[in-house]
Chains A and B, each alone.
Chain A
């Protein structure tokens, strides 16, 4: 018969073992993902992969038959992604920032609370819903899949992230910053533009970069808005490709399985680099203010 004290200690030991075990098991699939990405993705790392457009199915089949690596690359996807992303950022950032400031400045007003709930709904809205809505409004009315339809869809997805980043950043600033600006006789506009924004710029930039890294991996709305294209396209009204669309197209085509991994590896590294830059900026431009 073990004593109650011993029993408690055994329970504690058992608990520790369970926690270690489950944590270890939880990390296995993630390690497997990264391992597979590296193992299968590194085959295609050569200059051509980044400077040529995606291959056709026949080229891929011929390469598979002769045992060579598939020719061609993902240039159309990289250019398309960056192009769509650029338009998205131009559309979203000013608007999202203004809405964030509005929510922060009028936190207790009824209309502002209503806007906060709307923004929360946007934040959790499935991306495919935004995709098909943009399809109805833009693709259907202009009778063509286009790069800007994709940008609009991504903007609607990105908007709540920017709003939240702005709101959280402003929340973290002490109120005396604004009050002392106003007390010195500065107008409301110059307090916002010359005091608040310069102080918060590091955190705002971090928020922007993290939202961009999230947006880069979005696929579903692009499938129904920009469709994809096998050439580099700079025309805003024409179908355009993106990195994620290329992964989707390659994965639907059994003879291009090798390309899937290399493209995914590229996307994954791109996203990690963005995240690391964001962390670095947050750390370097940390808001350090004296306490009240």
Chain B
């Protein structure tokens, strides 16, 4: 029995791994140098109650916005690791993060959640526990605003972890972990 179970697990695991390895190569995008700012795509602002006209396009843009946010966070983290952060790059990336944080609360109008059947990391509790979600968005906006206002390396190194913690605060509750790719 145990042997069968192990054998099954092993075969399944190998099968899953094989699937991961068989993905076609993504179309190549120009890779921005670390210091270059990745502009955040403009969001389609919408009130929490208004479902956008083109839901799939809206959700796709939302996803791309998070990808861009991630790239800016990467620039910030790389500088966080440096003894002498490139403050020009930090300021530029921080401005983009703030720009994103300012509008993130509008990115989740009704009808753009997992109920659409479209692949999304947005969990349904964004809409059922809106007050908590909005508070998390405000917290990010506060921390990102403070981050965009830093002028020196010490200030940056003190404020960046707080900004990351605001991201994590929301992710822990409202973001679905990716289980497959």
Note whether A and B form a binding pair: no
Interface residues of chain B, those whose CB is within 8 Å of chain A, are: none
Interface residues of chain A, those whose CB is within 8 Å of chain B, are: none
